[in-house]
Chain A
């Protein structure tokens, strides 16, 4: 074969690099993630669950505005908001990333089987139809309601519904590619199915999966906030952005306490907007039509 000097991934990366805005968000998220990982080990950090008490009066330091001692202030029972927000961001991002990985992994596997194994086509289609006909939030509420609240429940409930889109897209691509002549030839020559899937079909799916995964993260973080609002979120001892926003919501009418809602809301919005922008820029960059 002639070497045209065209490489799909090089071109994708080059096209992505051209988009300065998304590059900025990418760098921002990289710094952000490094920061929230090392934050507890930095000097002068407080614990997210300790209630701070004034040494002289013995009273709890409640609702302290952001200042030198408490960088983001304290909440209504005297916990340090700076520590709680970063700890909450870790929880929420952890949920987001795990959900993104799992639901796309499940979606990929089911989608490939759905498209490739004709015997299972009907049954998977009917399962898909049942779940797809229901409002996702209703399924989330029902599952979270019947299980114990916790990080695992949250991840599980989101994965149950989240694989649908990925599976459908993967299936459509698989159906298109599986009967191309080179695959039929390969099958006749005795290549096992897993090898055809791995070598001939998976490369077509990579860009879709990366896109879906980057968009799953903000969605999962949003669902966490929603479930917490309903009362099906994480216990207060595990700070999460949903918890913090829900706590802060009560103080929105008091101007001096509004920071308790605004800071977590801002952090969350920066994360979701960044991932959304990165995902969309990647989708554009991975389209070969944009490579020239």
Chain B
């Protein structure tokens, strides 16, 4: 077990390094003039050269890369050039991260609970109508791009239920819609897989035996089927974290939530390279940590997983 976890940890660290390097390289492939921000027009040729040189953008690439590693390791994420010129990126992000984290965790918890509940009811043959409704829900959510149903929800649901259309820090009611829309996609994933695993378990012989023994259906479902179907669900946790990150970028900017996702959209639109770089790095780290946590959790909870396999999740 310890061997598996430590090798998985090393893999995550390697991934993190690879991401740092790739992000750095891609950013340096862009024209260096981008680093002058909005002051570009005010400067003459010599001043521009000077600034670019001072930023260290003319050094050989491996020297820059080394500096970049050191900078990131010490927690320095650079200075914003367009969004709030001159302000350290870390300071901008400090106030944003709690919102993103709050929304992400709230929506993940809701989707896990509601998705698994929906899946259980859909697997039970008694709820025919629920099954049909659930199936239509899963098909629609999976096939229509999130970009579209987010917009429609934002407009029509706010209209019907008189909810606020944008996010206000002092009005808790304005949390409802963003969190719910964000959890729609992951709910569908959880419901779909939970239903499949439940149906798979229900068809196994031990269930028939338990029923034949005279146990109540409810009892069998609760004690045997549910638990056995639940354990493999953990493997969807990492990917649903990634999915929530993706959705949050859109949702946060749609509802003007002062989080990291909305900030990323703005940073991209205003071409604030250091800010984009920092946010991409943070989201990637969250992804890496999430995947690691999911794998480790899975290994602890499900002894059937073959440990020590180099391939990890494959």
Residues on A lying within 8 angstroms of B by beta carbon are 122, 125-126, 128-130, 132-138, 141-143, 145-146, 168, 171-172, 218, 221-223, 225-226, 229-232, 242, 245, 249, 252-253, 261, 265, 268-269, 272-273, 275-277, 280
Contacts and interface: CB of A to CB of B under 8 A. Distances in A.
Interface in B259-314: 264-265, 268-269, 276, 280, 283-284, 287-288, 291, 310-314
A130 B14 CA distance: 8
A122 B280 contact: no
A230 B268 contact: yes
A126 B143 contact: no
A277 B151 contact: no
B144 A229 contact: no
B42 to A, nearest CB: 25
Interface string B198-242: 000000000000000000000000000000000000000000001
Contact of A168 (B139, B243, B284, B314): B314
B147 A138 contact: no
Nearest to B12: A133
Interface stretch (B24-32, B51-59, B63-71, B176-184): B24-32
Contacts of B287: 133-135, 138
A282 B288 CA distance: 34
A130 B23 CA distance: 12
Given A133-B12, A135-B242, A229 B280 contact: no
Interface in B111-154: 139-140, 142-148, 151-152
Contacts of A138: 245-246, 280, 283-284, 287
Give the most central of A134, A223, A226, A242: most B CB within 10 Å: A134
B147 A225 contact: yes
Contacts of B142: 276
Given A252-B151, A265-B148, A229 B242 contact: no
B185 to A, nearest CB: 11
Given A125-B311, A272-B143, A134 B284 contact: yes
A20 B308 CA distance: 47
Contact of B314 (A125, A245, A277): A125
A231 B314 contact: no
Contacts of B268: 141, 145, 230-232
A203 to B, nearest CB: 23
A132 B311 CA distance: 13
Nearest to B142: A276
Determine the main DSSP class of A at the interface with B: helix
A277 B250 CA distance: 26
Contacts of A273: 139-140, 143-144
Contacts, number: 126
Contacts of B152: 265
A231 B312 CA distance: 36
B245 A135 contact: yes
Given A252-B155, A268-B145, A276 B283 contact: no
Nearest to A253: B155
Contacts of A130: 14-15, 18-19
A141 B245 CA distance: 13
B201 to A, nearest CB: 18
A134 B147 contact: no
A218 to B, nearest CB: 6
A242 B151 CA distance: 13
Given A222-B147, A273-B144, A136 B312 contact: no
Nearest to A141: B268
A126 B145 contact: no
Given A126-B11, A129-B312, 16 more contacts: A125-B312, A125-B314, A126-B14, A128-B314, A130-B14, A133-B15, A136-B246, A138-B280, A141-B264, A142-B23, A229-B147, A231-B269, A245-B148, A249-B151, A269-B143, A273-B143
Contacts of B194: none
Nearest to A269: B144
Contacts of A275: 143
Nearest to B152: A265
A189 B27 CA distance: 52
A171 B139 CA distance: 28
B26 A222 contact: no
A287 B148 CA distance: 32
A268 B144 CA distance: 8
Contact of B310 (A122, A222, A249): A122
B190 to A, nearest CB: 18
Contacts of B15: 129-130, 133
B143 A133 contact: no
A177 to B, nearest CB: 16
A109 B245 CA distance: 30
30 contacts: A125-B310, A125-B312, A126-B14, A132-B313, A133-B15, A133-B291, A134-B242, A135-B246, A136-B242, A137-B245, A137-B249, A138-B283, A141-B249, A143-B26, A146-B26, A146-B29, A168-B314, A218-B143, A218-B145, A222-B146, A225-B148, A230-B253, A230-B264, A230-B268, A230-B269, A245-B148, A261-B151, A268-B145, A272-B145, A276-B142
